[in-house]
Amino acid sequence: MKETPDNAVATHDEALETIAQETPVWTPEEAEEHYHVKGWGDGYFFVRETGEVAVRPERSGPASISIYEVVRHLKEEKVPFPVLIRFQDVLRGRVQQLNHAFRDAIAELGYRNRYTAVYPIKVNQLHEVVEEVLEAGKPFGMGLECGSKAELVAALAHLEDDDTLLICNGYKDGVMLQLILSGQQLGKNIIPVLEKYDEFEHFMHLARTRKIRPRFGVRVRLTTSGAGRWADSGGDLSKFGISIPELLTLLEHLDDQNRLDAFTLLHFHLGSQIANIQTLKKAVKEIAQIYAQLRQRGVPIRYLDVGGGLGVNYEADFAGLNDGINYTLQEYANAVVHSIMEVCDAEQVEHPAIISESGRAITAHHSVLVVEALGAYRKNEIDPDFTPAKTDHALVHELHATWQWVRETPTMRPAELLEAYHDAAEKRQQADSLFSFGYLPIEQKALAERLYWSICRTINERVRKMDADWLPNELLALDEHLVDQYLCDFSVFQSILDHWAIGQRFPIMPLHRLDEPPSRRAVLVDLTCDSDGKVSRYVTANEDKRYLDVHPLREDEPYFLGFFLMGAYQDIMGDMHNLFGRVTEVHIYADDEEPGGYYIEKMIPGTTVQQMLALVQYFPNDLERRMNALIRAKVEAGVIRPRAGVRLLEQYLATFSGSTYYTPSSSL
């Protein structure tokens, strides 16, 4: 039948109407509110009218890219998932935001020196990330910070400009100190920050032997310590830093050697993710006081380095919960500049050049891990139309009666619901005992279990709608028992190690279907055979943070979740538990001329099976030889035909170059 255009419109409208009736709508505002997008998204992420999460590459600009559209594009290109998407424009944006915040603070307050950001590469050492940061930071004279030999080797070769700062923290052996001196000999602006008194003696000795005029900084052990997860990076308990008595001894020796001019920088680091701005102000004032007094004694220190610690709002909750911070980027910059200025003005010393080592705040936002939900595991419930047969066990009949009672009495009070729950629990237990003594056939046990979960579900739905002052704990706990498990294609140990190790929360949300309310509660579990391989805390508006609200899976449509603020630390700290390797990475740039407003600049394949195996000393030739021998023996014994043997070997070898993650059959 041929349809007239009018007709087609009518059919379309009808179709829309049916859909509208079937699925209640959810607005982008509701979705953003529910997953706290405005808090952690920092203006980069939002939900479109179409229910898709999008990124604004330029925070204040009108252009945006739908992450879901990028995901579909990658699926079409058969890119293996999970995928880590880097939005290079966001990285650039963060570099600019940081530098502008300090420039504004300096201009506003009339500070008489400049600010230089250095990027601590340990936060994300990926070459493309470091290059992008340097490139975006060029107009601001951005430098680098390193904390180990390998990082120094990487960073040193990137100091194109002689003014570009390279700050070297961490414990330094002779090899590292020699390399730093060589950098200074080359005329590079490389400053080792001495962490221990012996490091000072070692460094000065090497410089004397090589007849180089050295420059160095000192990390001071402040009395102020941070608060929260990384607090031990500062304070008396810290493993880092030179104490005030040691500092005075150091100065005496330096004076004796007539080398006071070598002392160019003072440094402290309170630890990552400073939660409270007051802690920072206190530490900055403490270091500024030390600076002022040293200047007054004629030590020509030029730089005051306030370390890292500039936080990111993972939790998006200003109430001061574990993973939130109580200040903005601008407030941080104002606090640093103002606190230094106040002390210097009171002590009448020159304003020093300010350095900060902010890595987390620069990199966290730019990458999103995209994970596919492979399956949803729900508690097995009974068919709503089920009626027990005469031959079914008495317990099945009794459980069914309890279910009927609950279903047919919508007015039940909490105490009655509790009674029904106790009833069901008792009968299920009886069914279990009868089964273990051999008195209940397995099919009857299955029915009893299904009925039990259906009763729990019905009670739970009632309880969730109740607005009672008092609800029994047993009923509230049903939530936990009834929640779905969504099996997702990733490894907690590779991609969100800090969640497992220190319970850090990352924002996670569906990337699409956000015009539809998420009607299922789920815990996300990963592919590893480890009971810790799950996400146990979420960022949501729910009071109970142990679950994530998600959509029911559809048979014909993959479901994607985005893990946000992945750019800091997680990439590099991930481990190889169960031999899941690095995930595929794609780098995206915004471009108005391209469809969807972006282009994929680069794809870095994830670790293959073969690469993972080589790390634990299994090598392709040996594995092939062994497998071949196993198969040949079976061919010779007549268990399989030679041709089948060849195919088996081919199949085995083909996995070597493949992904370590789950490959959905649809992508084969």
In the complex, minimum distance from the CB of residue 363 to ligand PLP, in angstroms, rounded to a whole number: 8
By CB under 6 A, the count of residues binding ligand PLP is 16
DSSP code of residue 199: H
In the complex, minimum distance from the CB of residue 364 to ligand PLP, in angstroms, rounded to a whole number: 9
CB 49 within 8 A of CB 515: yes
Length reported for the chain: 668
Which residue in the set 41, 120, 241, 518 belongs to the binding site for ligand PLP (CB under 6 A)?
120
Contact region for ligand PLP (CB under 6 A) — 179-187, 301-309, 463-471, 512-520?
A: 301-309
Using CB under 6 A as the criterion, what x/- string covers residues 162-201 for binding ligand PLP?
Answer: -------x--------------------------------
DSSP code of residue 2: P
Structure-token pair, residue 310: 């500039």
Nearest by Cα to 119 from 90, 99, 89: 99
Residues numbered 337-396 forming contacts with ligand PLP, rule: CB under 6 A: 357-360
Nearest by Cα to 225 from 288, 285, 280, 186: 280
Please compute, for residue 257, the number of CA atoms within 13 A of its CA located in the half-sphere on the CB side.
18
Structure-token pair, residue 392: 């079914």
CB 443 within 8 A of CB 482: no
- Nearer to ligand PLP by C-beta: 356 or 402? 356
- Tell whether residue 93 is a contact of ligand PLP (CB under 6 A): no
- Tell whether residue 129 is a contact of ligand PLP (CB under 6 A): no
CB-closest chain residue to ligand PLP: 308
- Nearer to ligand PLP by C-beta: 283 or 550? 283
Structure-token pair, residue 293: 């007094």
CB 152 within 8 A of CB 146: yes
Contact region for ligand PLP (CB under 6 A) — 118-126, 489-497, 524-532, 612-620?
A: 118-126
- Nearer to ligand PLP by C-beta: 32 or 145? 145
Residues numbered 52-81 forming contacts with ligand PLP, rule: CB under 6 A: none
- Tell whether residue 265 is a contact of ligand PLP (CB under 6 A): no
- Nearer to ligand PLP by C-beta: 44 or 569? 569
In the complex, minimum distance from the CB of residue 67 to ligand PLP, in angstroms, rounded to a whole number: 25
Residues whose CB falls within 8 Å of the CB of residue 655, separated by 6 or more in sequence, listed in order: 609
Sign of CA dihedral 543, 545, 547, 550: positive
d(CA 662, CA 105): 49
Contact region for ligand PLP (CB under 6 A) — 64-72, 120-128, 429-437, 472-480?
A: 120-128
- Tell whether residue 307 is a contact of ligand PLP (CB under 6 A): yes
In the complex, minimum distance from the CB of residue 157 to ligand PLP, in angstroms, rounded to a whole number: 21
Residues numbered 266-285 forming contacts with ligand PLP, rule: CB under 6 A: 269, 272
- Nearer to ligand PLP by C-beta: 83 or 310? 310
DSSP structure string for 126-147: -HHHHHHHHHHHGGGT-EEEE-
Structure-token pair, residue 608: 């293959």
d(CA 375, CA 485): 8
Which residue in the set 56, 94, 122, 393 belongs to the binding site for ligand PLP (CB under 6 A)?
122
- Nearer to ligand PLP by C-beta: 215 or 360? 360
Which residue in the set 28, 80, 147, 228 belongs to the binding site for ligand PLP (CB under 6 A)?
147
Residue where the block lists tokens 């900055």: 284
Three-class HEC string of 547-581: CEEECCCECCECEEEEECCCCCCHHHHCCCHHHCC
CB 40 within 8 A of CB 507: yes
Which residue in the set 82, 214, 235, 309 belongs to the binding site for ligand PLP (CB under 6 A)?
309
Give me the residues that bind ligand PLP (CB under 6 A), please: 120, 122-123, 145, 147, 169, 269, 272, 307-310, 357-360
